[in-house]
Every structure is written in structure tokens, then in C-alpha cells.
Amino acid sequence: MSNLTTGSFSIEDLESVQITINNIVGAAKEAADEKAKDLGPLGPSTWPGLATYRDDWNLKLLARYEPVITPMCDQCCYCTYGPCDLSNNKRGACGIDMLGHNGREFFLRVITGTACHAAHGRHLLDHLIEVFGEDLPLKLGQSDVLTPNITITTGQRPMTLGEIKPAMEFTEEQLTQLLATVHAGQESAEIDYDSKALFSGSLDHVGMEISDIVQIAALDFPKADPEAPLIEMGVGTIDKEKPFLCVIGHNVGGVTYMMDYMEEHDLTDKMELGGLCCTAIDLTRYKEADRRAPYTKVIGSMSQELKIIRTGLPDVIVVDEQCVRGDIVPEAQKLGIPVIASNAKIMYGLPSRDDQDVDATIEELKSGAIPGAVILDYDKLGEIAVRLTQVMHPIRQAAGFRTIASDEQMKEWVDKCADCGSCYLVCPEELEIPEAMKHAKEGDYSYLVDLHDQCIGCRRCEQVCKKEIPILSVIEKASQKVIAEEKGWMRAGRGQVSDAEIRSEGLNLVMGTTPGIIAIIGCPNYGDGAKSVYYIAEEFLKRNYIVVGTGCGSMDMGMYKDENGQTLYERFPGGFQSGGLVNIGSCVSNAHITGAAQKVAAIFGGRTMGGNLAEIADYVLNRVGACGLAWGAFSQKAASIGTGCNIYGIPAVLGPHSSKYRRALIAKNYDDEKWKVYDARNGEEMAIPPAPEFLLITAETWQEAIPMMAKACIRPSDNSMGRSIKLTHWMELHAKYIGGMPDDWWKFIRTEADLPLAKRADLMKKLEEEKGWEIDWKRKKIISGPKIKFDVSAQPTNLKRLCKEA
């Protein structure tokens, strides 16, 4: 009986007894394992635990990319032993030191993010199985490799919704194991928190992959479609005369019911449905597999949440989960906007109305008797949200809630400012609010308008203002004209990169002739973040890098236009190709970015995927020039997404605020011992250039980030043409954004063919004069000098076990 997974059995001597078995513990995994026997060879790490990747991969990675700890404060107040002063790396009462404590703090961010995506995946999986059944096939586009992250981690290749369950259960089990380690008196070694964080990062990409593939398959999202439709975006696209239903969060489950209701009742052109964060992105993917004309809109990222409420435009707000502010209800209440909480993760203390009649709930919310309600029943949610929006629109219009402050009111606010400077001190962006207020008092609002784009809408300034000036409203009132013009276009999230695209780009990427993949993987919330991301993407697209985006980064790339009035999505193709701008989808679609790199290793490189994380990651680190950008994320999820990229050998540059995650991974570019790998042909050590020289780091400005990313795309396996192309871009970008030539360009030269073509002679002269390299000027060849050798057949690896002589 212990081996029973499906089928029937009988128990003698029992009569007239009904036995119902809902689930056999471990049965799904056993069934899946049985099936996996047909899947060919597997690597050594199927169904990994906390220690599985530690020695074989993580510690090797961390030996080169060392943890850099920058604590947020001196103390630990985690248990009743404390609070303890850990400054100067002292140990607290429980025995943990400052390094270990901060490793744990970073780790906590990573497992929090992992849990968010895993819980999101679980919610969608259960819901979609309930609606569509376990046998719904995973149709994700023209690919054989559908689930790279699941396959690498578990060895499984699920083909239906039901077959995903073992990977889901496994992720949840490991998250429990991971969370247990933060209990006082357990793990205290910083390096082991890093190893566990990397493991959690790999699980995060499993959770994200599950979330996205189930919604792509069941909700008819674009399936690896490079020509997914263009979507209107920006607050300026909202028709103020129409009722506006505003959705905020990351889980599309409930929104699909609102869309269905709107479509069934012919309301799609009679009201606006738009959203913030990834719920918005995913509602624009719903039923878009056949590229129908989109009618829903994307407003913006988390930093826009309060700003959009303060416009007074939303008639109803529906929140679901993840990046949702904690003050939506009190803010909405001031402007007569009912709030519906549609996911049990955020209930805001609101009363539940699942058991109440729809009409009664609409009446109750309309009357203002309650500020909002929890409605988890999606059928009711779909009807109530849409009908309530139509009901609230004229009521709010008549009450003046949809009108912004008058000029007189504005003057009154501005005149109250006592120039105390408190707002400047607490502003996370250190915006010069007092200066702007001073000019506003004199009638010049332009300084306030300048703040609009940089303001992250956190209202810390309002919290400390002794004169109780609603500073955010002041900035937004001053910026009305600018806000009305906030209109852009974004390509709907296309889903995975297809196997065919990998086949055609794989060689270019591994050889370096496509200079790299630039992955814009996080929300650019912080000051000027949106515009920065636009500049960064444009610079790399013009240089034929592949730019892939997800989530709010994808939104922000579409918010700006060139001199011809075109957004980046209109200017560049949507395919995974040199010079392509690929909007993969929402946050959870990030799994397809690691997935693309993994597929290069598997499809182009022929590496075994199943249970083979270390080898796949080793391949990516040494051969696939990719670099992520998380430019100004607020959330813990960004930490887990980035860490998941890191374990797979993909470095990421973060914005300056991300130094508050407390832990970076930076290599010592001056220590030659760190820059050696094995040649898998014979196990001999070979020197490599110091690239990438970080796995996780911050940059101060977007201008600094650009050359850092270009440099981080250099890989040991580049052929000479590829190295020459990559160096050309990096050195040009360094000259453009930093100034002059980088000091260490020569470290990447193996032969004269590596040198940027246009400057070859000049650079050889520099090598001769400044570095003492021997040059044969007749043959225009480097005779001696380089520390690293070029061998086109070399097989760089960090894993000794993969070497033939090992």
C-alpha cells in the first residue's frame, strides 16, 4: 500500500463503509518521480535541501563573490536576550555577530520575497485547478522546454496544471526549512546565510515560474509572442468622464472576473479598468493570446499608488496582494473611494461580505457605512467591483471628490509653510521640498513640478509637517499639466523566450557577438527611476544588446517618447534577438529570464537540465553575457529575484537605495587567485579576466550603471570577435558616461584580435608603452604580455568534477 499512487485497493471484512482519500502524502511526488524515469539523464541535485548546493556550488561562488555587509543599524532586537549592540562586529547575547546578524537580515528579505511568489503561485494553481481541472495542458508557446526552473530544481517536466503540484509542495516545504533557520541560537555563520539565501533565490524562480506558467496556460495570455499587442499606459490615458475601477497588486485571479463581467455586460467602452503594479500588467495579458484589441490600461508602479488616489479619479479600488501600500483605506476614505480587499493576504481590518447578497453589499459600500469590504468570492467580486464603480462615479463627481484642489486652496497650503526643513530631512530621496515651497510662495510652481517625477509618493514629508500641509497633494496639484500628458505604450507581456529564439541567438550570446542580455528586473520606483530605465534601455538597444524587461521596469520603459513621438516598444522589435526589446511580463515572469539563460545552457550548450543546477549555473557564469538591473526597488521580492539570478551566475546592478538590503556580492578584482577556473578538457587551471566582477552591487547613478552593466556582460568564453565587440561597447560607454578610458581595459586582452577594431593600433601602442607588452608591429601582433591566454576550444568551468582528468 505504501507504493500506491493511483488506482484502487480493497480492505477485507469492511462492509458498507465509505472511505474518501483526498490526498496520499508524497504520492504526487512518487508519481512524478516514476514519470521522470523516462526523461533521460539527471544531474546530482534533484529535490535539493538546504545543504545540497552549498559545497558543490554556492561556496565556490561566494569564495569569489564575497558578501559585503553594510548594516542598517548597530543593534539586533530579534529576541528577548537583547537588544544587543553588535557594532564593530561584536557578538550579541545569543552569540551571533554583526556579520551573521546582517547575513540573516538579508536572508530574511530573500525568503520573504520567495514566500510571496510561492504563495502567489499556490493561490493561482489551486484556483485554476478548481476552475479548469488538473488536466489542463501547459500550452506556453512553441517550445519543448517549458519549465526550466522546475526541471533544474526537481528533475520534473510537468505538462499539465496537476503535474505542477509536486514542485509547488516541494517549494513550500523548503521554505519552511529555510524559515526555521532564523530562530535564535541556530545558524549564525554569515556565509551559510548567504548559501541559504542563494538556495532560496533558486526556489523563488521556481515559485515565479509556477505563477506565470499556470496563468499563461489557463488564462490565455500571449504565449511566447513577440508581437503581443501594445497597451496604453500612464495616468493620462484614463478618460476622466468615465467611471474608473482601479486595481492594485500582483495577482490577476480576481481581476479576470471583473473583466469577464465587463465583457458580458458590454461595458468595456463605458468605463475604465486600469491598475498599478503587476496586476495591471497581467490584466493586459488576459485573453490576449489571439491579440484582440486591448481595453484595459496600465497606470504605473508602486510609487504611483498614493499619487493616483490623490487625483481623486478612482471610483473604486480593489487590492489583492504584494506591493500594496498599507494606507490605501484611510487615503481612499478621504476621497469617498470604497476599497475592496480581494485576497486573504491583505484584509486591512475590513468586514467580510462574502456571505452577503451582492445588492446589499453594493448599497452598504455606496452609503459609506463601511470604508470597504473583504470579498474573496470571485464571482461576487467581479460583479460588485464593476457595478459599484458605475454607482460611485456620479456620487463622487457630485461630491467634488473627482476634482483636484482649487488654486486658492493651493495658495493657502503653500503660504502655511514655515520653512523648517523637516520634510527635507525625512524625504528618502532628499528632495529640496523647502526650496520648492519657497519659490511656490512667490508664485513660481515650476520647482514643485520638478519634484513630481522624483517623488516616490511615500508621504513621509506629510507625517512630519507641523503645519499639516498635504505636501504630496501640493506637488501633484502643481504638476497637473505634466500628469495629464503621462501617456505611453507598452507591449503586453509575451511570456517565455521560445526554444527557437534560443537556438537562433545561443551561438551569438556564447561567442559574444550579441554583446549581452540586459535584464531590467525590478521596479524603478526611486527618483527619476522611470526615466533612468528608459535611458539605460535605449542605450543598450541602440547597441544591439537584447533588452528583456518585466514588471514595473517594463512599464517605465514605455513611458517616454523620442523626438518622433515613439516609445521604445514602437521603435524596437519584441523578439529575443539582437536589438530586441522583450517585455516578458509581470514580476513572476522574471523566471523566464533566468529560464532563457538556462535554456541557452541546455538547448545550445547541450547540458543536462534535470537536477543539475550547479552545471547550468556554471555554464551561464562562464559563457552567457547577461546582467540584470533592479533600479530602485522597494520590496523584498526584488532581493529574492536578484538572488535567484545570482545563483545562476547572472550579476545584477541595483540602484543606490538597494544598499539598504545590507548585503552585496563583490569580487576583489585585484586578487589574481580569484580569477582562475578549470579547463574541463584536462582539469588544468586557466586564468580568466575579472568579469563579471560582482554578482550584486549598487550604482550611484544610471550613468554609472550603464558601463558597469556592459562590463558585466564580458565572459571567459567570448571568442575574439565577441570580446572585441563587448570591449568596444564598454569602453565607449565608459568614455561617454564616466569619462576617459577605464583603467583596467587591458586585463581583458588575450590577443590583438580582442582589441576594439577601430582603435586597435592606438591600443597596441598603449599596451607597449604603458604595460610593457611586446608587439610585432610588422605582423600587428601581440608577442607577449597578456596574463590570460586565448584558446578557442577551452571549456572554462568552476566545477572540478566536470573536468575529464578530475
- In the complex, the residues that contact another protein under the rule CB under 8 A are 66, 68-75, 82-89, 98-99, 425, 428-430, 656-657, 659-660, 664, 666, 668, 670-671, 693-694, 697-701, 703-704, 708, 737-740, 742-743
CB of 424 to another protein, least distance (A): 9
274 pairs with which residues across the strands? 246, 297
DSSP code of 12? T
CB of 652 to another protein, least distance (A): 13
The two beta strands, 297-300 and 316-319, are unpaired
The string over 605-642, giving b where at least 16 C-beta atoms fall within 10 Å of a residue's C-beta and e elsewhere, is bebbbbbbbbbbbbbbbbbbbbbbbbbbbbbbbbbbbb
352 pairs with which residues across the strands? 374
The two beta strands, 676-679 and 796-797, are antiparallel
Q: What is the DSSP string of 388-443?
A: HHHHHHHHHHHTTTTSPPPHHHHHHHHHH-----HHHHH-TT---HHHHHHHHHTT
What phi, psi does 58 have (nearest 5°)?
-60, -45
CB of 68 to another protein, least distance (A): 4
How far is it, in rounded angstroms, from Cα 127 to Cα 797?
43
Segment holding 642, helix H or strand E: helix 636-647
List C-alpha distances in Å: 667 to 67, 68, 201: 9, 9, 20
Beta-carbon neighbour count of residue 789 at 10 Å?
10
List C-alpha distances in Å: 81 to 71, 76, 497: 20, 10, 50
Inter-residue contact 252 to 219 (CB < 8 Å): yes
Closest CA to 651 of 691, 596, 690: 691
Q: Give 678 or 730: the residue with its C-beta nearer to another protein.
A: 730
- Measure CA 527 to chain center: 18
Q: Give 287 or 439: the residue with its C-beta nearer to another protein.
A: 439
DSSP code of 601? I
**The residue type at 229:** P
Inter-residue contact 476 to 404 (CB < 8 Å): yes
521 pairs with which residues across the strands? none
Q: What is the DSSP string of 73-106?
A: -SEE-SSTT--EE-GGG-B-TTS-BHHHHHHHHH
Inter-residue contact 356 to 347 (CB < 8 Å): no
How far is it, in rounded angstroms, from Cα 317 to Cα 197?
35
**The residue type at 350:** L
List C-alpha distances in Å: 58 to 326, 399, 640, 647, 675: 36, 60, 15, 7, 16
Q: Give 108 or 431: the residue with its C-beta nearer to another protein.
A: 431
Q: Going by C-beta distance under 8 Å and a sequence separation of 6 or more, which residues neighbour residue 694?
A: 65, 651, 653, 664, 665, 666, 667, 712
Q: Give 186 or 701: the residue with its C-beta nearer to another protein.
A: 701
In this structure, what C-alpha cell is assigned to residue 159?
A: 505538462
Q: Give 666 or 753: the residue with its C-beta nearer to another protein.
A: 666
Kindly report the CA angle at 392 between 391 and 394, in degrees rounded to 5?
85
In this structure, what C-alpha cell is assigned to residue 191?
A: 556565509
The two beta strands, 652-654 and 685-687, are unpaired
What phi, psi does 697 have (nearest 5°)?
-155, 160
**The residue type at 778:** K
Q: What is the DSSP string of 679-703?
A: ETTT--EEE--S-S-EEEEE-SSHH
231 pairs with which residues across the strands? 490
How far is it, in rounded angstroms, from Cα 692 to Cα 716?
9
Q: Going by C-beta distance under 8 Å and a sequence separation of 6 or more, which residues neighbour residue 91?
A: 97
